[in-house]
Amino acid sequence: MDAVTQLGASLIVMGLVLLAGRVIRIKVRPIQALFLPTSVVAGVLALLIGPQVLGALVERFVGETAWFAGGIIPQWVLDGWDPLPKLLINVVFAGLLLGKTLPSAKAIWQKSGPQVLFGYTLAFGQYALGFLLVLLVLGPVFGVDEKAGALIEIAFTGGHGTAAGLEPTFIEVGYEEGRDLALGLATIGVVMGVILGTLFVNIAVRSDRITIAREEPVEAEEDYDIDQLTRNDAPEPQQDDAAADPLTKHLALIGVAIALGWLLKQGLVLLERFTWGAWADTTLMELIPLFPLAMIGGVILQAAMVWAGHDGLIQRDIINRIGGAALDIIIVAAMATISLEALGANLPAFLILGAAGIAWCVAAFWLLAPRMLPYRWFERGIGDMGQSSGMAVTGLLLIRVSDPRNQTGAIESFGYKQLLFEPLVGGGLFTALSVPLTARFGAPIMLLVSGAVTLAALITGMVMARRIS
C-alpha cells in the first residue's frame, strides 16, 4: 500500500472511530454523565481495539494467525495517525485568539486580574509540586528522570493537545516516555476534573455557607455537552466573495498565522545563534515547538486585520470549528498510540504525579480561590480548577454547570483571562520550554523559579482581592 492510500484509509478509519465514540457517549449513560468529550471516548476505544490491547490478547490466547491478531485497528493505521498531532496542534493554537477582540492589557487586567493570578498560582504551583516530588521521591526512590517534574502542568493545564504536540521536544531532549506519561496524566485530569467539579457544584448547592448562582441541583438529563461548548451561537456567516468558500479562506488565514509563527521561530534561532548561543553550551530556541509561536502569529495577524479594517472578514465560529475538528483528531490519534509499555514501566511516577496534581487543584480551589477571587469565587474558581485539571473546555463546562444562566459574568472573566494566561502557560511559551529548560538547568533551579513565581502570584492575588473587596 502506497503512502497516499495508507493516509486516506487511516483518515477514513479515524472518522469511523469518532462516529463510534459519539454513539457510545450518547448510549452509555455512565460515560455521558461524566461529560467526557467524544474524542476522548473515541481515543480510548481505538486504544482498546488496537494492537496493544485486543491484538495482544488475541495473539496470546487464540494465536498469531487468528482474526484480529493485530487488533481491529491494525498498526499501519496507527502509523498513518502518528504524524497528525504534531501537525494539527499548530492549527489549534494558530486559531486560539484569531478572530477574537483584543482589548488592551489594562482592560483585561481590570476585568480578570485576580483570576489571571489565581491561574498562574495553579499552573506554576503544578511545576513546583512536580519538581519537588522529583527531587524528594521520584528521583531518589524510583530513578525517574528529573524532566518528569514538568509533566503535571503540561498534562493537566495543557491537556491532550499540548502533550501530543510536545512529542518532538520530548524526543529532542531524550525523554520519549514523557509524551506517553503526559497523555495518560491528561486523561486522568479530564476525568477527575469533571467528576470532582460536578461533585463540588452539588455540595455548594446544598451548603448554606456558599453563594452559588445555580439554585437547583444538577439533573441527570441536563447534558451540557462538552463537545458543543467551543461552538459559537452566532449565525452562519454570509459569503463576501463567491470566488472562495469561507472555510477555504479561514484555512488560509490559519496557514498565514502558522507561517508568521515559523518566521518568529527562525528569528529567535538566529538571535540566539549570534548572541548568547555563541558561548552557551546548549541552545534552547531550536527546541521551542512551533505551536505557541503560531498562537502569537495569530495575534499578529488579528492585529494587522484590525489595523487594515478587515477584521470583520474573520468569522470566529468557523475558526472554532476548524480548531475543534483538529483537536478531535489530535486526541484520538494521540490516545490510540499511547505506549502502555511506557506507562507500565513508569507506573509509580504516573500514579504519584496524577494524585499530587489532583490534590493540588482541589486544595487550591477550596483554600485559595475564596481568598484570591474577591467576588463570585465559586463559579470563577471552579472554571480555573477545571482548566488546571483538564483543559480550558473543562473549565468552561464547570462554569456552565454552576452558572447555567450566566448570571455571574464568570464566563466572560474566564475568557478574558485566557488572553494573559495561555500565551505563557497551558500550552504557551513557558509550557513549551519547560522540558528543555529542565534539561539545561536541572530540577533544583526549576523548583526555585516555579516556586518563586507561585508565591509571587499568590501574594499579589490575595492583596489585590482585598483591595477590590
Cα–Cα distance between 226 and 192 in angstroms, integer?
15
Q: What angle do CA 437, 442, 447 make, to 5 degrees?
A: 90
> What was the pLDDT predicted at 429?
87
pLDDT category of residue 229 using cuts at 50, 70 and 90: low
Give Cβ neighbours of residue 368 (< 8 Å, ≥ 6 apart).
118, 121, 458
pLDDT category of residue 235 using cuts at 50, 70 and 90: very low
Which of 188, 234, 229, 212 lies closest to 327, judged by CA? 229
Average pLDDT over residues 417-438: 88
Cα–Cα distance between 391 and 401 in angstroms, integer?
16
Which of 23, 40, 95, 13 lies closest to 330, judged by CA? 40
Cα–Cα distance between 463 and 223 in angstroms, integer?
38
> What was the pLDDT predicted at 418?
80
Q: Cα 50 from chain centroid?
A: 25
φ, ψ at 97 (rounded to 5°) = -115, 0
Q: What is the amino acid identity at position 287? A: L
> What was the pLDDT predicted at 193?
87
Cα–Cα distance between 446 and 130 in angstroms, integer?
10
> What was the pLDDT predicted at 232?
46
HSE (CB half, 13 Å, CA atoms) of 410?
Answer: 29
Which of 1, 141, 215, 132 lies closest to 443, judged by CA? 132
* % residues pLDDT > 70 (the chain): 91
Q: What is the amino acid identity at position 332? A: V
Of residues 389 and 1, the one with the higher pLDDT is 389
> What was the pLDDT predicted at 272?
84
Of residues 364 and 25, the one with the higher pLDDT is 364
Convert 179-195 to b/e letters by CB count within 10 Å (16 or more is b): bbbbbbbbbbbbbbbbe
Quick check: 201 and 404 in contact, CB under 8 A? no
Of residues 171 and 395, the one with the higher pLDDT is 171
Locate 177 and state its grid cell. 516516555
Average pLDDT over residues 314-331: 88
Average pLDDT over residues 211-232: 54
Cα–Cα distance between 232 and 229 in angstroms, integer?
8
Locate 398 and state its grid cell. 464547570
The CA–CA distances, whole Å, from 81 to 53, 85, 98, 111, 414 equal: 18, 8, 27, 41, 33
Of residues 369 and 375, the one with the higher pLDDT is 369
**In this model, does residue 40 exceed pLDDT 50?**
yes
Q: Which range has the worst mean pLDDT, 43-47, 151-155, 420-424?
A: 420-424
**In whole numbers, what is the pLDDT of the chain averaged over residues?**
85
> pTM, whole model, 2 decimals?
0.80
261-307 confidence digits (pLDDT tens) = 999 999 988 988 888 766 766 667 777 778 888 888 998 999 999 99
Which of 464, 463, 433 lies closest to 150, judged by CA? 433
pLDDT category of residue 23 using cuts at 50, 70 and 90: very high
Quick check: 95 and 254 in contact, CB under 8 A? yes
> What was the pLDDT predicted at 224?
52
Q: Looking at beta carbons, which pairs linking 446-455 to residues 24 or more positions away fall under 8 Å?
A: 446/127, 446/131, 446/149, 446/150, 447/128, 447/131, 447/132, 447/135, 447/149, 450/124, 450/125, 450/127, 450/128, 450/131, 451/124, 451/128, 453/120, 453/124, 454/120, 454/121, 454/124, 454/125, 454/127, 454/128
Cα–Cα distance between 78 and 409 in angstroms, integer?
43
> What was the pLDDT predicted at 159?
85
